[in-house]
Amino acid sequence: MRPPEHRSILGVRIDATSYADATERVVEWARQHRSCYVCCAAVNNIMEARRSPDYRVVMDEADLVTTDGMPLVWMLRALGIPQATRVYGPTLTRLVLKAAADAGMPVGFYGGTEAVLARLVALVRQRFPELQVGYAEAPPFRPPTPEEDRRTTQAIHDAGVRILFVGLGSPKQDGWMHAHKDSVQAVMIGVGAAFDFLAGAKPQAPEWMQSSGLEWAFRLATEPRRLARRYLTQNPKFVFLALAQLLRIRTI
């Protein structure tokens, strides 16, 4: 498949994909037994890539970078891709799960807590009875030991997982996928808080807030301690820098 059209937003490649396109790519890569990874990018990813050269490499080497956040959709449109749409991690997860069930592809889940993961797997099996869930692991919050990491990759391999959903939160999940490219023989998708949302462990913003770019306000209200720095510091910086990028382009 040809790579999707893309643009650089503050130095980070963002792909103008869609739900249908991203799902098709993931399934096709899984059929080809490729080891690759998909990042669902929001403002936080962009700002982290500006702060950390190592993380920028992680983002640059992703096989697909979707528009998880509406500000990135607006930027793609302003940069000349009017058809750009949001490709939100939780929704993409549902669509890929259905496609995997239809194609008979085993999937796996890595991330979350044991309680959330158990609830998620039960709900997924109920919704998609034909889906093969070959692997599910809630890793410790500390970095795994080399032996634990070897056991994880071996378990994923032994289960025949072709699509692995990684829910560690960004930037941690993106770094994990980058580090395990080639050792995990599956398509890895970093889906952030999708495990919590789909399992009902955390509330999701109403649709109108998601589509209007106000989901951050809802999440800040529900998790102020964890997300205050991210949203109240990084979001204003992103707006300033994004406007500066657009002004530079229009004055050339």
pLDDT tens profile 170-181: 899 999 999 999
Rounded CA separation 170/148 (Å): 21
Let me know: does 133 contact 107? Beta carbons within 8 Å.
Answer: yes
- pLDDT band, residue 245 (cuts 50/70/90): very high
Q: How open is the CA angle 61-23-191, to the nearest 5 degrees?
A: 60
Let me know: does 49 contact 72? Beta carbons within 8 Å.
Answer: no
CB atoms within 10 A of CB 226: 11
Rounded CA separation 41/64 (Å): 10
Provide the whole-model pTM.
Answer: 0.93
Domains of the chain, by residue range, sit at 6-199, 207-251
What mean pLDDT comes out for the span 120-148? 93
Q: Which two tokens stand for residue 46?
A: 């962009």
pLDDT score recorded for residue 177:
98
| Overall size of the chain counted in residues | 252
pLDDT tens profile 150-202: 999 999 999 999 999 999 998 999 999 999 999 999 999 999 888 988 888 78
Q: Got the DSSP string for the chain?
A: -PPPPEEEETTEEEE---HHHHHHHHHHHHHTT--EEEEEE-HHHHHHHHH-HHHHHHHHT-SEEEE-SHHHHHHHHHTT-TT-----HHHHHHHHHHHHHHHT--EEEEES-HHHHHHHHHHHHHH-TT--EEEEE---SSPPPHHHHHHHHHHHHHTT-SEEEEES-TTHHHHHHHHHBTTB-SEEEE-TTHHHHHHTSSPPPPHHHHHTT-HHHHHHHHSHHHHHHIIIIIHHHHHHHHHHHHHHHHH-
- pLDDT band, residue 252 (cuts 50/70/90): low
